[in-house]
């Protein structure tokens, strides 16, 4: 069953979210933003890991992609699309041909470098680490752009482009899972095992130090507009709930690490912005946004928040989604697709919040990335222009009964209208 906005209580919200993400995609495709470059982990991977034939960390087989066009298993860890698809869906770097003309054209429009990884892990042959994505794949693309365009023009192109980064969640998962957990299918290098002795706070500090170095390197290589996805509520992933064998409740320590990480990353980005006057960013607090869905599922269209839709074992959380896994019949009422990844409908909702929301979910605002919003139209978009000698006004009760201070603002609504959710800040 393909994801849909089926609940009458969520139709309006779905429409707003779709409008927000469509707006950003139009900016990219329309040339106002020349390109979208994506780096990070499996939540952003659209098929790079398909090229690692000996790696178990792939998703190019059923039941992944069951709701993707033609039911194609593309390498996305999803029943359909992931959040990157709602931003502009640049192709995976490792699928681009060796044709010079195709590479040049593709590099100018955008590339996805993301892979199943963590910001501190480099397991040769299993994934493309974040450092690998930056220092090998992205640097190779950057060098080709410089050779073709010249240094100044290449930097000008990159400075207008958007960089989307999603990294950190896998670090927290592997730090929080008990040794020998059956869901860990990767043998960690000795240096990574040594990091397990660090306290959670020390581990998060090391993660953020590493990320700061990596983001600074991307800045040196042209990144000026960054959309960064924070860590979600890692402790509430199906794989982490299994740690609490009796209650299946969220793993509190993992969630604490997510909050610490997001707080530190927000501070890191603010520091980069103060040091570099031409650097703009948008930080999405996916922890809070996803917890709102988990804590209040039914008004948001969900019936299941604990179990995965695809997997094996209790709550389908004992082994990752694969050919022999069982699959839930309705993917639209599950928050999670597999052990750790959201369903397509969840990805779409979260992406809509990221680009249509406001503080504290998005900071400093839903972007400094889109400089302005201009609204024209009819009464569904009016926020108070109709102060005319006319009966078609709404600046009196009961309009605004749920607006702050019960103020009748001129909106034809009990509170906000859709425009408020596009750019309240």
Instruction: Say which residue, 188 or 218, is predicted with more confidence.
Output: 218
Of the candidates 63, 251, 334, 341, the residue annotated as catalytic is 341
All structural domains of the chain with their residue ranges: 11-372, 375-416+421-425
Contact between residue 247 and residue 348 where contact means Cβ atoms under 8 Å apart: no
pLDDT confidence of residue 375: 78
Q: How far apart are CA 148 and CA 153, in angstroms?
A: 9
pLDDT confidence of residue 157: 97
Please give the CATH topology (third level) of the domain spanning 11-372.
Answer: Rossmann fold (3.40.50)
| Each residue's pLDDT tens digit, 258-286 | 999 999 999 999 999 999 999 999 999 99
| Each residue's pLDDT tens digit, 325-380 | 999 999 999 999 999 999 999 999 999 888 877 778 998 865 455 556 677 788 88
Confidence band, pLDDT 50/70/90 cuts, at residue 10:
very low
| Each residue's pLDDT tens digit, 146-183 | 999 999 999 999 999 999 999 999 899 988 988 766 55
Confidence band, pLDDT 50/70/90 cuts, at residue 12:
very low
User: What is the DSSP pairing of strand 225-229 with strand 162-166?
Assistant: parallel
Res. 186: pLDDT tops 70: no
Residue 363 among the catalytic residues: no
Over the chain, what is the mean pLDDT? 85
Residue 358 among the catalytic residues: no
When mean pLDDT is compared across 27-31, 64-68, 84-88, 389-393, the lowest value belongs to: 27-31
| Each residue's pLDDT tens digit, 248-263 | 999 999 999 999 999 9
Contact between residue 180 and residue 127 where contact means Cβ atoms under 8 Å apart: no
pLDDT confidence of residue 26: 54
Of the candidates 67, 333, 338, 382, the residue annotated as catalytic is 338
Res. 33: pLDDT tops 80: yes
Residue 378 among the catalytic residues: no
Of the candidates 42, 161, 286, 363, the residue annotated as catalytic is 42
pLDDT confidence of residue 376: 79
pTM score, whole prediction: 0.82
For the chain, the farthest-separated pair of C-alpha atoms sits apart, in whole angstroms, at: 76
Res. 239: pLDDT tops 70: yes
CA-closest candidate to residue 244, choices 296, 181, 196, 289: 181
DSSP 3-state assignment of 169? helix
In percent, how much of the chain has pLDDT > 90? 60
**Quick one: 284 exposed, middle or buried, by C-beta within 10 A (0-12, 13-18, 19+)?**
buried
pLDDT confidence of residue 114: 94
């Amino acid at each position: 069953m393909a994801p849909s906005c089926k609940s009458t209580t969520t139709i309006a919200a779905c429409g707003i979210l779709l409008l927000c993400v469509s707006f950003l995609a139009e900016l990219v495709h329309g040339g106002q933003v020349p390109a979208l470059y994506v780096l990070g982990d499996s939540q952003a991977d659209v098929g790079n890991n398909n090229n690692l034939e000996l790696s178990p960390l792939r998703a190019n087989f059923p039941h992944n992609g069951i709701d993707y066009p033609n039911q194609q298993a593309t390498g996305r860890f999803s029943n359909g699309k992931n959040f990157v698809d709602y931003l502009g869906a640049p192709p995976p770097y490792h699928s681009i041909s060796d044709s010079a003309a195709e590479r040049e054209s593709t590099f100018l429009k955008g590339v996805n470098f993301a892979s199943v990884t963590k910001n501190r892990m480099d397991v040769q042959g299993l994934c493309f680490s974040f450092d690998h994505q930056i220092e090998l794949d992205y640097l190779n693309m950057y060098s080709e752009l410089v050779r073709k365009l010249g240094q100044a023009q290449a930097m000008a192109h990159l400075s207008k482009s958007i960089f989307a980064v999603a990294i950190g969640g896998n670090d927290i998962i592997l730090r929080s899972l008990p040794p020998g957990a059956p869901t860990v299918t990767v043998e960690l290098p000795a240096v990574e095992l040594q990091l397990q002795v660090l306290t959670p706070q020390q581990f998060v500090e090391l993660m953020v130090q590493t990320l700061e170095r990596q983001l600074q390197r991307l800045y040196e290589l042209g990144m000026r507009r960054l959309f960064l996805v924070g860590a979600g509520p890692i402790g509430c992933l199906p794989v982490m709930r299994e740690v609490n064998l009796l209650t299946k409740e969220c793993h509190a320590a993992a969630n604490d690490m997510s909050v610490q990480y997001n707080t530190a990353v927000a501070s890191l980005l603010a520091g980069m912005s103060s040091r570099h006057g031409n650097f703009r960013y948008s930080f999405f607090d996916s922890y809070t946004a996803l917890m709102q869905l988990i804590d209040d599922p039914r008004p948001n269209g969900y019936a299941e928040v604990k179990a995965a839709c695809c997997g094996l074992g209790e709550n389908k959380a004992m082994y990752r989604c694969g050919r022999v896994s069982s699959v839930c019949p309705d993917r639209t009422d599950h928050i999670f697709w597999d052990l750790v990844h959201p369903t397509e409908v969840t990805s779409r909702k979260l992406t809509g919040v990221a680009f249509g929301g406001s503080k504290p979910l998005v900071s400093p605002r839903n972007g400094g990335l889109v400089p302005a919003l201009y609204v024209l139209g009819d009464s569904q978009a009016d926020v108070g222009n109709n102060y005319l000698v006319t009966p078609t006004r709404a600046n009196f009760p009961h309009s605004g009964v749920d607006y702050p201070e019960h103020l009748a603002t001129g909106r034809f609504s009990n509170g906000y209208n859709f425009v408020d959710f596009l750019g309240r800040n």
